[in-house]
């Protein structure tokens, strides 16, 4: 009496459209992640070669400098009276031993003074712009900050020494920033933000900025390296590499730096050029230069994504690998020279 009504046998276009959109979104995401993470050349793999005589000397100097900053001076911030001045005096002495005359820029934080310290290596072409190599010299309240960031400060001092007799096309400016750590991080009192704003106000053409941030801790243990979500698909799970980190606008700089590093030294390296809003991408002084439209990258051991003593009282010099740091500084010498000569 009643005929059955069967469902349409034709294609379900709505479902197909949804499936196609999902596939397209996944493909776009994979391509985007690949673009963020893909860098030229190959990261070094295998057993590290013996340290050269040059690298051994660098390692000894790095060790001495980190020990002095983290042990002799110790905690370095506005909360510990006199510690920043003691650090500035030490930086001046070491720079003077390398033939530099350091200058400072002072600004007020509450009822105290804070200063950024800089030393210039003049280039042959004043109109070619400058390269800034910098590190923050303060530490978190209650910590001696051996890795964060005496390691970056020591590396900056060593790069200044190694490059002293180079005559680059572009000027190289070595800068030691105050107040990177909380409560000043990414606030108007952050030393590198004060400095970058001054550069922009004075129309200084910064071609590249390199922030050396927490570069001393390495592990060959599987699982020792962590990442923000999804990035583990593209990177190794051992924390034995140095990272080059930029935002999307600084991709060209990151590519140049990684290429030069990989061509110069036998040491594992990884790079990323990602949105500044992603966790960890903007966690140092390079962020301040992004705010002023300058290309900038951070060079780091990835800090809290690897270092179990990050921002703790256990961040002491005995945790650091000065031999691996020396290899990195050796490679960065070539990176900075390449950028300064427009390569």
Domain of 311: which CATH number? 3.40.630.10
pTM over 0.85: yes
Parent domain of 281: 56-340
Tokens 């999307």 — which residue? Answer: 248
Domain assignment present for residue 224? The answer is yes
Domain assignment present for residue 29? The answer is no
Domain assignment present for residue 245? The answer is yes
Domain assignment present for residue 39? The answer is no
Domain assignment present for residue 203? The answer is yes
Domain assignment present for residue 18? The answer is no
Contact 170, 125 (CB under 8 A): yes
| Distances 61 to 57, 64, 325 between C-alpha atoms, Å | 6, 5, 11
pLDDT tens track, the chain, 343 positions: 444 445 555 567 666 665 555 555 444 445 556 567 789 999 999 999 999 999 999 999 999 999 999 999 999 999 999 999 999 999 999 999 999 999 999 999 999 999 999 999 999 998 999 999 999 999 999 999 999 999 999 999 999 999 999 999 999 999 999 999 999 999 999 999 999 999 999 999 999 999 999 999 999 999 999 998 888 888 999 999 999 999 999 999 999 999 999 999 999 999 999 999 999 999 999 999 999 999 999 999 999 999 999 999 999 999 999 999 999 999 999 999 999 998 6
How many folded domains does the chain comprise? 1
Domain assignment present for residue 119? The answer is yes
Of 308, 106, 316, nearest in space to 219 by CA: 308
Domain assignment present for residue 301? The answer is yes
């Amino acid at each position: 009496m009643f005929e059955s009504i069967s469902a349409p046998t034709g294609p379900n276009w709505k479902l197909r459209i949804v499936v196609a959109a999902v596939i397209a979104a996944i493909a776009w995401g994979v391509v985007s992640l690949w673009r963020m993470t893909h860098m030229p050349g190959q990261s070094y793999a295998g057993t590290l070669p013996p340290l050269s005589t040059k690298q051994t000397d660098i390692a000894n100097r790095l060790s001495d400098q980190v020990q002095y900053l983290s042990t002799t001076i110790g905690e370095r911030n506005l909360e510990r009276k006199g510690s920043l001045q003691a650090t500035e005096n030490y930086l001046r002495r070491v720079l003077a031993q390398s033939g530099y005359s350091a200058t400072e820029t002072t600004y007020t934080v509450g009822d105290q003074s804070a200063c950024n310290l800089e030393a210039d290596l003049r280039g042959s072409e004043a109109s070619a712009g400058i390269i800034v190599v910098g590190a923050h010299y303060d530490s978190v309240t209650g910590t001696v900050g051996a890795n964060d960031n005496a390691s970056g400060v020591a590396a900056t001092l060593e790069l200044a020494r190694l490059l002293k007799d180079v005559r680059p096309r572009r000027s190289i400016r070595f800068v030691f920033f105050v107040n990177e750590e909380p409560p000043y991080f990414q606030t108007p009192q952050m030393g590198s933000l004060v400095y970058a704003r001054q550069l922009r106000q004075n129309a200084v053409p910064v071609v590249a900025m390199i922030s050396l941030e927490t570069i001393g801790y390495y592990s060959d243990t599987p699982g020792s390296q962590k990442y923000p979500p999804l990035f583990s698909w593209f990177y190794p799970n051992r924390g034995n590499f140095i990272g080059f980190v930029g935002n999307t606008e600084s991709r060209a700089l990151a590519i140049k730096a990684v290429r030069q590093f990989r061509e110069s030294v036998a040491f594992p390296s990884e790079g990323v050029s990602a949105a500044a809003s992603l966790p960890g991408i903007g966690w140092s002084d390079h962020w301040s230069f992004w705010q002023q439209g300058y290309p900038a990258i951070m060079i780091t051991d990835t800090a809290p994504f690897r270092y179990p003593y990050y921002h703790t009282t256990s961040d002491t010099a005995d945790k650091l690998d000065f031999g691996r740091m020396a290899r990195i500084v050796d490679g960065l010498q070539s990176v900075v020279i390449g950028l300064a000569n427009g390569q």
